[in-house]
């Protein structure tokens, strides 16, 4: 990891990704076009091309669900049930209710809350398994009242879906699971095929191809967010255990080579101590080569003068995960303006939030916490405005409406009012 200063952060130059993004777009748009044109045939073709797997049955069968349940350990079943219950409990607090109020006699206004009909959930897979993401993305949809939830996830080398993922999907209440991943899965969910149901909204994280595909289908369907590489930012004072900090940084670095592990601290000596612990623990990781690449490309420890500099840095980074490992952290949370999730104290590591605490781990990345929120029940609901005026109430406002309509040159709007006022055909 590099050790830099507060000034170094604001002096950094942005890299030019235009050429690589153009190539990515070309590939993704080609995939989307082929899926729209040939449906299942294209989905099967691209799964063979990119994953080297020939899929015969795109839908996970009841038998496969049964086999998955039998193959996982009792200890995992207990752990995933505990996670399920915590996630469900937290997200039930987010339920919104319809409401109405009477502004004055004859005028009733309000808002009706209703769930989205059909949702697609993308869960990364293939070489890795993320049953936790299954729970995080499906449980809020179920609580919102979504009737049909279709999940896509890449198959393993044997053409099957990881049994832990299937168990989590069944526990969460999925409608159907498809054995596909990548941009082709996003296109299939967005536009439908003979086998795959078209949905109204797509949620869930994925690789660069998945993220780009979500961007391109947005408008034809809704999406939750465009997720980038995972990030962690740890703000640590001299009393925070360096070996805790190192472990937390590595917990993100092991995700993939593009993950972003950042630490902010107040002394050069502390920065060196953290770096030393990171180097020591790195050798113990099974995914050492991935974490090492992440640390080399994006790993930084920033040394700042005080809390003002620290929080200025944090709010500019707007990290996906923020850990406050400093004294009086609970009293300083209000200084954080932009972060996906905030973890307070030495015993609230990001890994706790990933799996068990309850709040959602599908979070805004790449600085989008400036304007985005974690996935939640609210992402699966729609709001309709309710307006009811009596005759007397409308006539009392008629002149104001006509005045605005005429000013805008929309005389049809004005007539829609005057015809009611004058009661002439």
What pLDDT does 401 receive?
A: 98
**pLDDT tens column, 256-279:** 999 999 999 999 999 999 999 999
The residues spanned by each domain of the chain are 21-223, 229-371, 390-422
Q: Is 320 a catalytic residue?
A: yes
- The three-state secondary structure class of 214 is helix
Beta strand pairing call for 99-104 and 107-115: antiparallel
Q: 66 pLDDT band (50/70/90 cuts)?
A: very high
DSSP of 375-407, one letter per residue?
Answer: --GGGGEEEEEEEEE-HHHHHHHHHHHHHHHHH
Q: Which of 164, 321, 338, 361 is labelled catalytic?
A: 321
Distance CA 209, CA 220 (A): 18
Distance CA 57, CA 138 (A): 23
Q: Using the predicted structure, report yes or no on whether residue 354 has a pLDDT greater than 60.
A: yes
Q: Is 321 a catalytic residue?
A: yes
What pLDDT does 126 receive?
A: 74
**Residue percentage of the chain with pLDDT more than 70:** 98
What pLDDT does 14 receive?
A: 59
Fold match between domain 21-223 and domain 229-371? yes
pTM above 0.75, yes or no: yes
Q: 12 pLDDT band (50/70/90 cuts)?
A: confident
Q: What is 21-223's CATH number, 3.30.750.24, 1.10.760.10, 2.60.40.1180, 3.40.50.1980?
A: 3.40.50.1980
Distance CA 290, CA 413 (A): 62
What pLDDT does 20 receive?
A: 73
Q: Which of 320, 350, 361, 402 is labelled catalytic?
A: 320
Distance CA 215, CA 227 (A): 10
Return the CATH number of the domain spanning residue range 229-371. 3.40.50.1980
Q: 165 pLDDT band (50/70/90 cuts)?
A: very high
Q: 287 pLDDT band (50/70/90 cuts)?
A: very high
What pLDDT does 17 receive?
A: 57
């Amino acid at each position: 990891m590099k050790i830099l200063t507060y000034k170094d952060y604001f002096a950094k130059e942005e890299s030019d990704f235009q050429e690589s993004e153009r190539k990515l777009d070309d590939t993704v748009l080609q995939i989307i076009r082929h899926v729209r044109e040939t449906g299942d045939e294209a989905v099967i073709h691209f799964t063979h091309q990119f994953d080297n797997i020939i899929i015969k049955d795109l839908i996970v069968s009841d038998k496969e669900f049964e086999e998955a349940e039998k193959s996982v350990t009792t200890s995992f079943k207990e752990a995933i049930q505990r996670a399920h219950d915590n996630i469900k409990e937290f997200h039930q607090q987010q339920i919104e209710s319809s409401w109405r109020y009477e502004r004055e006699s004859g005028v009733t206004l309000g808002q009706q809350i209703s769930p989205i009909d059909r949702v697609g959930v993308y869960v990364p897979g293939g070489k890795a398994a993320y049953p936790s993401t299954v729970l995080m993305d499906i449980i809020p949809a179920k609580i919102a009242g979504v009737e049909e939830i279709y999940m896509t996830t890449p198959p393993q080398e044997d053409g099957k879906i990881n049994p832990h993922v299937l168990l989590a999907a069944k526990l969460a209440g999925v409608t159907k699971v498809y054995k596909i991943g990548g941009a082709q899965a996003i296109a299939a969910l967005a536009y439908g095929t003979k086998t795959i149901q078209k949905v109204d909204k797509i949620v869930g994280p994925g690789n660069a191809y998945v993220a780009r595909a979500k961007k391109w289908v947005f408008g034809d369907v809704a999406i939750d967010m465009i997720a980038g590489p995972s990030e962690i930012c740890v703000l640590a004072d001299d009393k925070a255990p360096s070996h805790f900090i190192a472990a937390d940084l590595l917990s993100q670095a092991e995700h993939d080579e593009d993950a972003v592990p950042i630490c902010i601290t107040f002394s050069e000596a502390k920065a060196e101590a953290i770096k030393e612990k990171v180097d020591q623990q790195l050798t113990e990781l099974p995914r050492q080569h991935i974490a090492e690449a992440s640390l080399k490309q994006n790993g930084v420890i920033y040394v700042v003068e005080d809390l003002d500099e620290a929080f200025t840095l944090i709010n500019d980074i707007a990290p996906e995960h923020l850990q406050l490992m400093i004294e009086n952290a609970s009293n300083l949370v209000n200084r954080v303006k932009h972060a996906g999730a905030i973890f307070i104290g030495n015993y609230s590591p990001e890994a706790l939030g990933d799996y068990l605490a309850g709040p959602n781990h599908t979070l805004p990345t790449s600085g989008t916490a400036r304007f985005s929120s974690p996935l939640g029940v609210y992402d699966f609901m729609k709001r309709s405005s309710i307006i009811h005026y009596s005759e007397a109430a409308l006539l009392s406002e008629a002149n104001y409406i006509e005045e605005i309509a005429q000013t805008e040159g929309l005389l049809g709007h004005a007539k829609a009012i005057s015809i009611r006022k004058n009661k002439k055909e």
